[in-house]
Homo-oligomer: A and B are copies of this chain.
Amino acid sequence: MTVVVVGSIAFDAVKTPFGEREKMLGGSATHFALAASFFTDVRMVGPVGADFGEDEYGLLRDRNINTDDIEKVEDGETFFWRGHYDYDLNVAHTDDIALNVFGEFQPKLSQRSKDAEMLFLANIQPDLQLEVREQCAAPVLAALDSRDLWIDTAKDALVKAIGAVDLVFMNDAELRMLTGEPNLVRGARAIMAMGPRIVVAKQGEYGAALFTEDGFFALPAYPLESVLDPTGAGDSFAGGFLGYLDAHSGDTEFDDRARRAMTYGSVLASFNVEQFGTERVQSLTLDEINERFAEFHRMTHFDAIPIEAGR
């Protein structure tokens, strides 16, 4: 089984209260692909410039990520983002942005990518998301992520793109903004009325909530004492989630699998933020992933012993 991700590939310069880096591999497709690569086959689709070299390809290939559909534009430069976080690590401040080759990106998927079982449309312009979705044969599951920028500037296109996927990942504030529903349960229902059958509300330091036709599930975030760099947490979450689902597509009931997928997503996101950029996920092992999964189980588990006699 294979997951295809279409999104940005970037160089990031990031400063947080805990340190800084001048140039790291980043971008939504990168963070997603690295996280998903622990579970299943991953193909990345996105543009890079001449400055994207063997070091970067090597980092991806070390994790067995297929880079055939990374489009190298020899007379361009890779998307660059410079940003910082203050003590409120939930808010990214953009200091400089150069779209470069990403500005003219027209996704072209190889046949192998078009035939993939799972498709993740990372946070890009919603018309492009829809275009990619329509190029794909019939993935078992197509998902998208989006953000406030597109709700503000391309809401109709976003609603159309949402109508063409099975699953939406979005921050809960953005879900509320898009649907106009202050209540998250109603907001999720409003997204489902647009087409998707699964909604994942990302709640940052509070965890994430899953809405499906059959039920509701919520998981706290891992209680980290220090977060060094939150960049890429959401995409790592999506990568862990869809990577796990892709690798375990028929084992059990969908909702059971989706709950474990939520947990693997949270595991990958929690590792991602422990160091800058992709540093922590690059060095991650399967044992560490399983150990943290077990910790998530321990910190959320309780026995259901109903009270026998009330007063």
Contacts and interface: CB of A to CB of B under 8 A. Distances in A.
Interface in A230-254: 244, 247-248
What's the interface size class on A, roughly?
Answer: 35 or more
Given A37-B311, A286-B307, A293-B306, A300 B217 contact: yes
A184 B223 contact: yes
B300 A300 contact: yes
Given A224-B185, A303-B256, A64 B311 contact: yes
Q: How many copies does the complex hold?
A: 2
Nearest to A286: B310
A28 interface: no
A24 interface: no
A57 interface: no
Nearest to A206: B206
B297 A304 contact: yes
Contacts of A220: 207, 209, 218-220
A139 B262 CA distance: 41
Contacts of A304: 293-294, 297
A102 to B, nearest CB: 28
A205 interface: yes
A226 interface: yes
A290 interface: yes
A182 interface: yes
Interface in A127-159: none
Nearest to A309: B286
7 contacts: A183-B226, A185-B225, A217-B302, A218-B299, A220-B220, A256-B302, A264-B307
Interface of A: 37-41, 63-64, 87-89, 182-186, 203, 205-207, 209, 215-220, 223-227, 244, 247-248, 256, 259-260, 262-264, 286, 289-290, 293-294, 297-307, 309-311
Given A183-B224, A289-B307, 10 more contacts: A89-B182, A183-B225, A207-B218, A207-B220, A209-B220, A215-B299, A218-B223, A290-B307, A293-B307, A297-B302
Closest CB pairs A-B (n = 7): A218-B220, A286-B310, A259-B302, A206-B206, A297-B304, A290-B306, A185-B223
